[in-house]
Amino acid sequence: METTHRVFVGDARDLSAVDDESIELVVTSPPYPMIEMWDDLFADLDPAVADALEAGDGRRAFEAMHAQLDRVWDELERVLVDGGIACVNVGDATRSVDGSFRVYPNHARVLEAFESRGFDPLPDVLWRKPANSAAKFMGSGMIPPNAYVTLEHEYILVFRKGGESREFEPGADRRYEAAYFWEERNRWFSDVWTEVRGELQALESPDDDLRERSAAYPLEIPYRLICMYSAYGDTVLDPFWGTGTTTLAALCAGRDSIGYELEAAFLERFENQLADVPALSRSVGRTRLERHREFVSQRRADGSTFDYDAEHYDTPVVTKMERNIRLREITEIEALEADDGGDYRAIHEPLSLE
Ligand SMILES: C[S@@+](CC[C@H](N)C(=O)[O-])C[C@H]1O[C@@H](n2cnc3c(N)ncnc32)[C@H](O)[C@@H]1O
């Protein structure tokens, strides 16, 4: 199996290189309005942002920033297939503007934007980002009532385009081979994720301050979402590509991907890691199988039996739907010529257990 991965250095407010209704899944994390690290970026996209901030008008700045994201959401509505899913990772912002502290509810504003474009909201996920330092409560003191709780969670908002789910031909291999294990389903489809950091090993890079600067999410987040909401053969789009975590996840999951990113430096970082992607994909697949085997041992030790066997692996599974699971690993990856970004092609083989 071959997958292709295209990255455009450009502005996602105009996704004209992406055809109408050609994307099955969007997984993305935009710059968060009213988080200071993104002020300059939003001000570059629209000078009205800087004017509002300078005038100390937080509400107006918040709205002007979201107006820029809205233009990207318009494009997503155009490029997604009917029944396609958009997963948007976003956190709220707390900030003092002109001496007044408040929360700017980005998740509510993004939800409203998608609903008004005709998307159906689906149940969302909260994931917890541990802020493990006592400093997080600094300034809150020990006397009521003027302290505020610390925001340690982010949202993964999930939307479906159109009122109906996608349809597949009965028994479609590309869907059944992309099944997940029963115990994965139980973890992944729960609405609070607490263990997403460190589950899958991210690729290390010498210029990891770039990852900080891009506010990259852990690989586990896009990887789970891609496994949950797409099948083999699907294309995943990330219009706010950053360091390319979504593309890495799509590579590991064996889906095609497209990304848009304003900053060319991120692409260079991505290319420096390319040689490590086959090993990453193998380790992701093996980690899943090892965890499944641990689950099997535990369940047997608890006295349960299994009714089904996986066809491609020497392991039992809980349900009939898991029998055809087939994980892949990358055996070859190459960068093709592209004058407007990156263009990559990967060859995937069934996961080797040797
Ligand atoms: C929160 S970061 C995404 C991080 C990414 N999920 C990762 O794991 O590295 C948002 C990214 O969107 C990019 N960006 C912001 N506005 C954009 C636009 N209009 N078009 C393309 N990229 C944009 C920023 O440069 C930044 O890299």
Tell me: the pLDDT tens digits for 214-237? 789 999 999 999 999 999 999 999
Mean pLDDT to the nearest integer, 156-166: 96
Mean pLDDT to the nearest integer, 161-180: 95
* CATH number reported for the structural domain that contains residue 279 in this entry: 3.40.50.150
DSSP 239-293: SS-TTTHHHHHHHHHT-EEEEEES-HHHHHHHHHHGGGHHHHHHHHHHHHHHHHH
Mutation choice for ligand 1 from 18, 236, 240, CB with most ligand atoms inside 8 A: 240
User: What is the strand order of the sheet 328-336 is part of?
Assistant: 192-193, 119-128, 153-161, 80-90, 23-28, 235-238, 256-261, 2-9, 341-350, 328-336
* Residue 254 near ligand 1, beta carbon < 6 Å: no
Mean pLDDT to the nearest integer, 23-28: 98
* Mean pLDDT computed over every residue of the chain: 94
| Position 18 in a domain | yes
What's the gap in Å between 284 CA and the centre of ligand 1?
A: 25
Amino acid, single-letter form, for residue 280: L
What's the gap in Å between 261 CA and the centre of ligand 1?
A: 6
| Position 255 in a domain | yes
Tell me: the pLDDT tens digits for 271-291? 999 999 999 999 999 999 999
Number of domains composing the chain: 1
Q: Residue 140 has what pLDDT?
A: 64
Taken in order 174, 162, 193, 75, is the CA torsion positive or negative?
A: positive
Tell whether the model's pLDDT for residue 141 goes beyond 80: no
Mean pLDDT to the nearest integer, 345-353: 93
Non-local (6+) Cβ contacts of 302 within 8 A are none
| Position 225 in a domain | yes
* Residue 261 near ligand 1, beta carbon < 6 Å: yes
Tell me: the pLDDT tens digits for 302-331? 999 999 999 999 999 999 999 999 999 999
What's the gap in Å between 69 CA and the centre of ligand 1?
A: 11
160/125 Cα distance (integer angstroms)? 15
Tell whether the model's pLDDT for residue 6 goes beyond 80: yes
| Position 138 in a domain | yes
Mean pLDDT to the nearest integer, 345-349: 98
| Position 317 in a domain | no
What's the gap in Å between 215 CA and the centre of ligand 1?
A: 9
| Position 106 in a domain | yes
Tell me: the pLDDT tens digits for 69-120? 999 999 999 999 999 999 999 999 999 999 999 999 999 999 999 999 999 9
Mutation choice for ligand 1 from 210, 261, 266, 270, CB with most ligand atoms inside 8 A: 261
Q: Residue 353 has what pLDDT?
A: 81
What's the gap in Å between 244 CA and the centre of ligand 1?
A: 9
| Residue whose entry in the numeric block shows the structure tokens 């006397």 | 143
Percent of the chain whose pLDDT exceeds 70: 93
Q: From 236, 242, 262, select the one nearest 13 (Cα to Cα).
A: 262
Which ligand 1 atom lies nearest to the CA of residue 211?
Answer: 9
Mean pLDDT to the nearest integer, 344-349: 98
Q: Residue 213 has what pLDDT?
A: 75
Q: Which domain holds residue 116?
A: 2-288+325-350
Q: Residue 115 has what pLDDT?
A: 98
Q: Residue 133 has what pLDDT?
A: 64
| Position 283 in a domain | yes
